[in-house]
Amino acid sequence: MHAKFLSAFIALLTLLSPCMTQATPNIQHWTTAQGTRVYFVRTEGLPMVDLHVVFAAGSVYDGTQHGVASLTSALLDSGAGKWNADDIAQRLESVGAVMETSVSKDTGSLYLRSLTDPDKLNVAVGTLHAILTKPLFTAEDFERQKRQALLSLQEKEESPGNLAEVIYTKAIYGDHPYGHPTDGEIGTVTQLTRNDLVKFYQRYYVAANAMVAIVGDLARADAETLVERLLAGLPQGAPAEILPTVAEPLAATTVKQFFPSTQTHVLIGEPVLVYNDPDYFPLYVGNHILGGSGLVARITQEVREKRGLSYSASSYFSPRADKGPFTMRLQTRNEQTDKALKVIMETANKFIADGPTDKELEAAKQNLVGGFVLRIDNNRKIAEYVATIGFYGLPLDYLHTFTAKVQSVTVADIVKSFKTRVDPARFQTVLVGGAVGK
Amino acid sequence: MKISVKISGLMLGLPLLAIAGQFEVSEFKLDNGLKVLVKEDHRAPVVVSQVWYRIGSSYEHDGITGISHMLEHMMFKGTEHHPAGEFSRIIAANGGSENAFTGEDFTAYFQSLEKSRLEVSFKLEADRMRYLKLDEVEFAKEREVVLEERRLRTEDQPRDKTMELFMALAFSNGPYKNPVIGWPEDIKEYTLSDLQKWYRQWYAPNNATVVVVGDVQPEAVHDLAQKYFGVLAPSRLPKLKSRTELDQTGLRRMIVKRPAKLPFLVMGYKVPVLKGTVKEWEPYALEVLTGILDGGNGARLPSRLVRGKEIAAEANVGYNLYSRLPTLLTIEAVPAQGHDTATLEQALREEIRQLLEKPVTSEELAQVKAQVVAHKVYEQDSGFYQAMELGMLETVGLSWSKAEEYVDKIKAVTPEQVQAVARKYLVEDRLSIAYLDPLLITDGTTTAETLLEDTHAR
């Protein structure tokens, strides 16, 4: 009875697919005179706009000053032009706008959400323009923000999960610029000066190193004007430099650190995946089956559902400009750490050796294809996709071709891509918790 | 997976709370007592479906704390018609995503799906509303999962542990004193028959609300609901005991010692909420007060204490006016470098004193209101959020129409009203305070062992 039930809905899905392609957003793309790439999607229905300004200004460009990218980003809205932090916050809040700055390994980003009402949007864009082009980095703001950054680094040391993350990142990347924490380390942040931030800002927050994603109820001409206003006066500069290539680990290593916690956190993996990778879809679909699809994934089934060993057990790829990690993770009470580690490794080894069954692949495709509309069902999600497509230079039809690419993946593709790209002989395993003797 | 505790975190804070009437809500009630709310949003061909039950940790008594959350986990473990795990497999095969959450006042299950799949959700949810099969073996494993969840979210998190103990200090006999996930000893001692009893007692159409938001037609949703949920028998629900919290008669304090790096403090004043209040403007005035203190980077605490005096590294105010029972207005804060929790407490209480003494300025009030109006629009970008607010309001016994009144009620709040609620409720006799006193974390030594050498490097 269950099988019948399922197939009826699969038939429905096929009937519906033309409609679903229609709903996929069309990305308009242009480049400003200063060399900034712009990606725009018009959505109607809500009088609002989401905007991301993304620079290649992530922690990968820290050099030896780990944490400089993060602190630069955190300080941007502390003062700009003739306004201090209170003025900036009050200007944005008085028009109901939301502004956030963030950094990742690859990027330094500013996000703005505003109403499209011109009076409000103008205030929001004018404020963001000052933050982008005239940040003050006053000595007082710098010292305060640095003290806060140092406290937040200390706070991370309270958590075995965060500590495991730091050790894992170092284990898989070694001395590569991906290898240090995005927020830096206490030792390096202590050394930072205001001048370091100014230099970082001047080098990386420039037009030729920027891209803008806009999603909302704006006409194309208005979007163009908005971008011109936003970036006016931002020096052209140059794109960020090319970084050394990630070297994969030579051998499997286990790193253990004691922490006085009731659980031990386990992270296992290695650097694997870039955006635009030819193996992207086989690896992505394969991982969906292995550990990326919640309760139905193999790892969750083996670790949690069958054995009750962990609340969350999963695996994922984090693609980046250069090889981003393939990671498997779980946490479990200290006494059963070895057992849980064994189960997750056996599950991975078996998957890498044999790949998924035909039935598993079919189920994964049903989920990814049938659920595609959920990935782009609101402005926020569309804006995030557009920013990723723009920053990493993915094809503009990425969303249009997504389901077809998923459909074309075969069991043989998954087996081949996992065997060649995901190698347990290079896995770095990190254990942090009470299972590790003092 | 299943998110459980701290669901209030999703809803708290002024800017997040608002909803508008741009899209119509349709309301139906089936003969068996099930309420169905439908909100159309035709921007994308998707639907979110949520089933809300009036059951949560505030319904529990001592000895079985956390059982509502344990039952939420067991709801994925099979019925007479579908074996354990099949629910999730069917939803996945239909392109859906799903989860569930338990709070103090509710337990809810949800799926997000392409719009034509709503029937899949209704069929499965109706099945587990009445036909759950509780199995001893599945239960034994899932109890371990819940204990792992507790270790992850509470035991190994010094601030969350402090919050848990703080709630137990602030409330004497009211049910909010117990954590949503339950005390560990209780989790270890539930029996299958405890669960069975809890399920039979509370999982019934006349104790549930189905909320659907998306690209759907209300009549069609009603017909589907009638088809699948309409056939289920209602239950006789027990009358809930009031368990009204005793009046607090003086300041309460505690110190929590845990391995941690930074001190932390939490303060909470006992305040009324919309449900059960006589003066309806008071909770809205408290909501505005929350925004004045912490409604954005320009609000008083970030501007005066994080910047300004630089006494706090962070300071967050929480208040949920949609709670079922009177609750706490909380301030959680971390002292800045060079300051201790006592200095920080003084500075926070000085901010409270100023609210008592002087009305807030009209500029501050305008700022809070501007944010509320804008967020009313932003929230419509998320069908999930809209469904959450409707479901929560119905489940705590307020009407969903409160969501539509929100902006106007906030707009009507005056500086004098903010001052009046501050004077009435933010007083020492209603206050509880906990300090987290960090114990040294012994530095572990890191060891590395190379297992395999010189294997194929690239």
Query: ipTM value of the model?
Result: 0.92
- The 10 Å Cβ neighbour count of residue B208 is 28
Task: Say if B313 is an interface residue toward chain A (CB within 8 Å).
Answer: yes
Shortest Cα–Cα distance, B318 to chain A (Å) = 19
CATH number of the domain bearing residue B308: 3.30.830.10
Shortest Cα–Cα distance, A373 to chain B (Å) = 7
- Do B111 and B259 have their domain in common? no
Kindly indicate the confidence band of residue A407, based on its pLDDT and cuts at 50, 70 and 90.
very high
Return the pLDDT at B441: 82
Residues of chain B found within 8 Å of residue A247, distances taken between Cβ atoms = 457
Per the DSSP assignment, residues forming a β-bridge with A98 are A113
Q: Please report whether residue B226 resides in a domain.
A: yes
- The 10 Å Cβ neighbour count of residue B42 is 12
Task: Say if B337 is an interface residue toward chain A (CB within 8 Å).
Answer: yes
Alpha-carbon separation of residue A20 from A377, A385, A402 (angstroms): 11, 17, 12
CB-CB under 8 Å, B45 with A19? yes
Question: What is the β-pairing status of strands A48-55 and A83-84?
Answer: unpaired
Return the pLDDT at B23: 59
- Do B178 and B89 have their domain in common? yes
> Which residue from B1, B45, B92 is facing A367, i.e. has the nearest CB?
B92
CB-CB under 8 Å, B451 with A254? yes
CB-CB under 8 Å, A89 with B302? yes
CB-CB under 8 Å, A294 with B158? no
Residue B20 has pLDDT above 70, yes or no: no
> Which residue from B147, B367, B451 is facing A94, i.e. has the nearest CB?
B367
- Do B224 and B260 have their domain in common? no
d(CA A36, CA A39): 10
CB B264, CB B427: distance < 8 Å: no
Task: Say if B194 is an interface residue toward chain A (CB within 8 Å).
Answer: no
Residues of chain B found within 8 Å of residue A407, distances taken between Cβ atoms = none
- Do B220 and B294 have their domain in common? no
Return the pLDDT at B24: 85
Residues of chain A found within 8 Å of residue B310, distances taken between Cβ atoms = 144, 147
Query: How many Cβ contacts (< 8 angstroms) between chains A and B?
Result: 278
Q: Which residue of B has its CA nearest to A95?
A: B370
CB-CB under 8 Å, B44 with A367? no
- Do B213 and B279 have their domain in common? no
d(CA A398, CA A216): 19
Least-confidence region, from A22-26, A428-432, B2-6: B2-6
CB A121, CB A49: distance < 8 Å: yes
Kindly indicate the confidence band of residue A17, based on its pLDDT and cuts at 50, 70 and 90.
very low
Residues of chain B found within 8 Å of residue A438, distances taken between Cβ atoms = 442, 444-445
Q: Please report whether residue B238 resides in a domain.
A: no
Return the pLDDT at B454: 33
Q: Which residues contact A189 (CB under 8 A, 6 or more apart)?
A: A66, A67, A71, A146, A149, A150, A153, A183
Return the pLDDT at A12: 35
CB-CB under 8 Å, B86 with A158? no
> Which residue from B152, B307, B452 is facing A144, i.e. has the nearest CB?
B307
- Do B318 and B392 have their domain in common? yes
Per the DSSP assignment, residues forming a β-bridge with B431 are B269
Mutation test of the interface with chain B: which of A95, A279, A373, choosing the one with the most B Cβ atoms within 10 A? A373
Residues of B tagged active-site:
72
Residue B93 has pLDDT above 80, yes or no: yes
Averaged pLDDT, A105-111: 98
Residues of chain B found within 8 Å of residue A23, distances taken between Cβ atoms = 44-45
List, as one string, the DSSP characters of B369-431: HHHHHHHHHHGGG-HHHHHHHHHHHHHTTS-THHHHHHHHHHHT--HHHHHHHHHHHSSGGGE
d(CA A12, CA B102): 33
- What is the amino acid identity at position A94? S
- The 10 Å Cβ neighbour count of residue B236 is 8
d(CA A24, CA A376): 7
> Which residue from A2, A12, A253 is facing B116, i.e. has the nearest CB?
A12
Label residue B273 left, alpha or beta by phi (over 0 means left) and psi (-120 to 50 means alpha): beta
CB-CB under 8 Å, A371 with B383? no
B226 CB-contact burial (10 Å; exposed 0-12 / middle 13-18 / buried 19+):
middle
Averaged pLDDT, B287-302: 97
- Do B179 and B273 have their domain in common? no
Return the pLDDT at A438: 60
**Rounded-to-10 torsion of CA A353, A356, A358, A364:** -160
CB-CB under 8 Å, A158 with B262? yes
Scanning the structure block, which residue is given the tokens 């706490």? B328
Return the pLDDT at A435: 85
Averaged pLDDT, A410-414: 98
CB A290, CB A415: distance < 8 Å: no
DSSP assignment letter at A257: E
Q: What average pLDDT does the structure give for chain A?
A: 94
Task: Say if B3 is an interface residue toward chain A (CB within 8 Å).
Answer: no
Scanning the structure block, which residue is given the tokens 């059960």? B276
> Which residue from B151, B375, B450 is facing A333, i.e. has the nearest CB?
B151
Q: Which residue of B has its CA nearest to A15?
A: B116
Least-confidence region, from A23-32, A67-76, A323-332, B32-41: A23-32
CB-CB under 8 Å, B117 with A98? no
Copy the structure tokens of residue B236.
Answer: 């006789």
d(CA A387, CA A379): 12
Mutation test of the interface with chain A: which of B80, B148, B151, B309, choosing the one with the most A Cβ atoms within 10 A? B148
Mutation test of the interface with chain B: which of A4, A6, A7, A9, choosing the one with the most B Cβ atoms within 10 A? A9
Residues of chain A found within 8 Å of residue B151, distances taken between Cβ atoms = 261-263, 331, 333
Task: Say if B440 is an interface residue toward chain A (CB within 8 Å).
Answer: no
Mutation test of the interface with chain A: which of B121, B306, B381, B382, choosing the one with the most A Cβ atoms within 10 A? B381
Mutation test of the interface with chain B: which of A154, A258, A279, A377, choosing the one with the most B Cβ atoms within 10 A? A377
d(CA B299, CA B310): 14
Nearest to B426 by CA among B323, B285, B279: B285
- Do B82 and B158 have their domain in common? yes
Shortest Cα–Cα distance, B157 to chain A (Å) = 7
Copy the structure tokens of residue A235.
Answer: 């020096």
Residue A6 has pLDDT above 50, yes or no: no
For a pLDDT cut of 70, what percent of chain B falls above it?
Answer: 91
Return the pLDDT at B445: 52
Q: Please report whether residue B268 resides in a domain.
A: yes
B241 CB-contact burial (10 Å; exposed 0-12 / middle 13-18 / buried 19+):
exposed
Q: What domains does chain A contain, in order, with CATH numbers?
A: 28-231 (3.30.830.10), 253-433 (3.30.830.10)
Residues of chain B found within 8 Å of residue A259, distances taken between Cβ atoms = 441, 444
* Contact residues, B window 143-182, toward A, CB-based 8 Å cutoff: 143-149, 151-152, 155-158
Kindly indicate the confidence band of residue A333, based on its pLDDT and cuts at 50, 70 and 90.
very high
Q: Give the containing element (helix H, strand E) for B5.
A: none
> Which residue from A151, A305, A312 is facing B85, i.e. has the nearest CB?
A305
- Do B214 and B295 have their domain in common? no
B194 CB-contact burial (10 Å; exposed 0-12 / middle 13-18 / buried 19+):
middle
CB B420, CB B413: distance < 8 Å: no
DSSP assignment letter at B302: I
DSSP-derived 3-state class of residue A242: coil
Return the pLDDT at A330: 98
Residues of chain B found within 8 Å of residue A98, distances taken between Cβ atoms = 15, 378
- Do B50 and B198 have their domain in common? yes
Q: What is the pLDDT of residues A343-357, one digit of tens each?
A: 999 999 999 999 999
- Do B281 and B167 have their domain in common? no
H runs (alpha helix) in B229-340: 281-294, 300
Q: Please report whether residue B243 resides in a domain.
A: no
Residue A72 has pLDDT above 60, yes or no: yes
Q: What is the pLDDT of residues B345-369, one digit of tens each?
A: 999 999 999 999 999 999 999 999 9
List, as one string, the DSSP characters of A317-341: E--BSS-EEEEEEEEEEGGGHHHHH
Return the pLDDT at B4: 40
DSSP-derived 3-state class of residue B243: coil
Residues of chain B found within 8 Å of residue A261, distances taken between Cβ atoms = 151, 155-156
d(CA A28, CA A26): 6
Averaged pLDDT, A387-408: 97
CB-CB under 8 Å, A23 with B298? no
Q: Please report whether residue B2 resides in a domain.
A: no
List, as one string, the DSSP characters of B181-216: T--HHHHHH--HHHHHHHHHHH-SGGGEEEEEEES-
Averaged pLDDT, A314-322: 98
Return the pLDDT at B205: 98
Residue A7 has pLDDT above 60, yes or no: no
Label residue A180 left, alpha or beta by phi (over 0 means left) and psi (-120 to 50 means alpha): beta
Kindly indicate the confidence band of residue B446, based on its pLDDT and cuts at 50, 70 and 90.
low
Range of the domain at B203: 25-230
Phi, psi (5° rounding) for residue A328? -115, 140
Return the pLDDT at A16: 37
- Do B225 and B256 have their domain in common? no
Scanning the structure block, which residue is given the tokens 């009603």? B222
Phi, psi (5° rounding) for residue B277? -85, 150
Q: What is the pLDDT of residues B264-292, one digit of tens each?
A: 999 999 999 999 999 999 999 999 999 99
Residues of chain A found within 8 Å of residue B143, distances taken between Cβ atoms = 308
Strands (E), B45-145: 46-53, 97-102, 107-114
d(CA A263, CA A433): 6
Nearest to B212 by CA among B92, B96, B52: B52
CB B364, CB B3: distance < 8 Å: no
Shortest Cα–Cα distance, A145 to chain B (Å) = 9
Task: Say if B262 is an interface residue toward chain A (CB within 8 Å).
Answer: yes
Q: What average pLDDT does the structure give for chain B?
A: 92
DSSP-derived 3-state class of residue B11: helix
Q: Which residue of B has its CA nearest to A5?
A: B120
Q: Which residue of B has its CA nearest to A435?
A: B444
Name the domain count of chain B: 2
Q: What is the pLDDT of residues B144-198, one digit of tens each?
A: 999 999 999 999 999 999 999 999 999 999 999 999 999 999 999 999 999 999 9
Residues of chain A found within 8 Å of residue B188, distances taken between Cβ atoms = none
Q: Give the containing element (helix H, strand E) for B90.
A: helix B86-93
Mutation test of the interface with chain A: which of B22, B42, B114, choosing the one with the most A Cβ atoms within 10 A? B114
Copy the structure tokens of residue B211.
Answer: 């909320």
